[in-house]
Amino acid sequence: MKISFLLFTVFFISAIGFSQQRVGLVLSGGGASALAHLGVIKALEENGIPIDYISGTSAGALIGGLYACGYSPAQIEEFVLSEDFVIMAKGKISEKNQFLFRDADRSASAISFSVSKDSIIRKSIPLNVITPSFLDFEMLMKMGHVSASYHKDFDHLFVPFRCVASDVAHKKSITFSSGNLNEAVRASMTYPLYLNPIRIHDTLYFDGGLYNNFPADVMYSEFDADYIIGSNVSQNASIPDERDMFGVLVSMTTTPTSFHLPCNDGLIIFPESN
């Protein structure tokens, strides 16, 4: 893990000021690279820098949501690197949880065809590669009880929290500030064609990174932070190869993100995972 020297320079120069300021932490999406966010959180804690607010997208929402629940960086790292989590992320069942689930019926065909009354052939393509039930269950166990104990108000979590998900029907980013935390985080990390979309209050949600992969604007508008620290492990996707149909589909539904802070009082860190 490499943390920019600029980070510590700012901390040492502003050591007294930070004790009086409210600090907001923004966590980008980035898949497995989002583990690097934990290094940033550890560095902040070790240097006595408070984290008063958190906003996150996709995998950053998972890290941020767990931290907002009161889990330590070490506990979060242990969870996301555990064999059980890796198995669930692949849509499989760990041996200890097999009695809780019935295996899904296997289909020999990934694509089915149907003919409508006007004889137009339609392809019915599955919305997900993996079965998300096991992951959903584990997230409920990790976050559900915490969310319920705070009356589903994200302002009352251990650290006030926001995450974003994409309402693709209306082509806009939605910010979650209340509700079932596990569902909000699940919506934020629903990568197209990997996890099936989740329905919350009659709206289907996909990965927050489609429209906002670095929710610094959410931090700025939702919280009264004096200083914003962004941890960015992502970048806008490059133009896909014409043979990469998956990349083309994602590109068609993705809006480029501005990886900048909407204020002068803050900095962006670009951590590197080991």
Q: What's the pLDDT tens digit per position in 30-39?
A: 888 889 999 9
- Inform me whether the pLDDT recorded for 44 exceeds 70: yes
Rounded to a whole number of angstroms, the CA Rg of the chain reads: 20
Nearest to 33 by CA among 268, 233, 213: 233
| 141-154 average pLDDT score | 89
Q: Indicate which CATH number applies to the domain containing 243.
A: 3.40.1090.10
Name the more confident of 134 and 178.
Answer: 178
Does residue 106 lie in a domain region? Answer: no
Q: How far apart are CA 168 and CA 157, in angstroms?
A: 28
Residue 112 in domain: no
pLDDT score of 116: 41
Q: Is 69 helix (H, G, I), strand (E, B) or coil?
A: coil
Inform me whether the pLDDT recorded for 77 exceeds 90. yes
Q: Taking 60 as the threshold, does the pLDDT of residue 76 lie above it?
A: yes
- 174 belongs to a structural domain: yes
pLDDT at site 230:
94
Residue closest to 208 by CA, chosen among 36, 19, 1, 31: 31
117 in any annotated domain: no
The residue range of the domain holding 237 is: 5-92+130-269
Interatomic CA distance for residues 155 and 272, integer angstroms: 30
The number of distinct structural domains making up the chain is 1
Q: First-to-last CA distance in the chain?
A: 6
In a domain, 104, yes or no: no
Take residue 46 and report the two structure tokens written for it.
């070790």
What's the confidence (pLDDT) of residue 59? 92
Cα(192)–Cα(125) distance, integer angstroms = 12
Residue 75 falls inside a structural domain: yes
Burial class (CB in 10 A: 0-12, 13-18, 19+), 39: buried
Among 71-75, 89-93, 155-159, which stretch is predicted with the lowest mean pLDDT? Answer: 89-93
In a domain, 19, yes or no: yes
Domain-located, residue 238: yes
